[in-house]
Structure 1
Amino acid sequence: MTQTTSGPEGTAAPTVQGTPPPIRRRTPRIHRAWFVAAVAFVTIIGAAAFRSLPGLLIDPLHQEFDWSRGTIGFAVSVNLALYGLTAPFAAALMDRFGIRRVVAAALTVISVGSLLTVWMTAAWQLILYWGLLVGLGSGSLALAFAATVTNRWFTERRGLVTGILTAASASGQLIFLPLLSWLVEHHDWRPAAVTVALSAFLVVPFVWLLLRDHPADVGLAPYGATEFVPKPPPVPGAATRALRVLFSAARTGPFWLLAGTFAICGASTNGLIQTHFVPAAHDHGMPVTAAASLLAVIGVFDVLGTIASGWFTDRFDARRLLAVYYALRGLSLLFLPMLLAPSVHPPMVFFIVFYGLDWVATVPPTMALCRAHYGEDSAIVFGWVLASHQVGAALVAFLGGMARDVFGSYDVVWYASGALCAAAALMALVIRKGRAEV
Structure 2
Amino acid sequence: MAQQDKDASAAAAKPKPGLFARVFGRKEAPAAAPEPLPEELAPAQILEAEPFLEADSWPEEALEPPVANAAPAPAEALEPAEFFEPAAAKSSEPPPRRGWWARLREGLARSSNSIGSGLIAIFTKRKLDESMLDDLEDVLIRADLGVATAARIAKIVGKGRYDKNVEVEEVKAILAAEVERVLAPYAKPLELDPATKPYIILVVGVNGSGKTTTIGKIAAQFTAEGRKVLLAAGDTFRAAAIEQLLIWGARLGCPVISREQGADASALAFDAIKAAQERGDDVVLMDTAGRLQNRTELMAELEKIIRVMKKVDPRAPHAVLLVLDATVGQNALSQVEIFGKVAGVTGLVMTKLDGTARGGILVAITDKFELPIHYIGVGETAEDLEAFTARDFARAIAGLDG
- Class of the TM-score when normalised by the shorter of the 2 chains: under 0.3
Task: Kindly indicate whether structure 1 or structure 2 has the higher relative contact order, using CA contacts under 8 Å at least 6 residues apart.
Answer: 1
- Max Rg structure: 2
Normalised to the residue count of structure 2, the TM-score between the two structures is: 0.23
Which structure: greater strand fraction? 2
Question: Which structure carries more helix by proportion?
Answer: 1
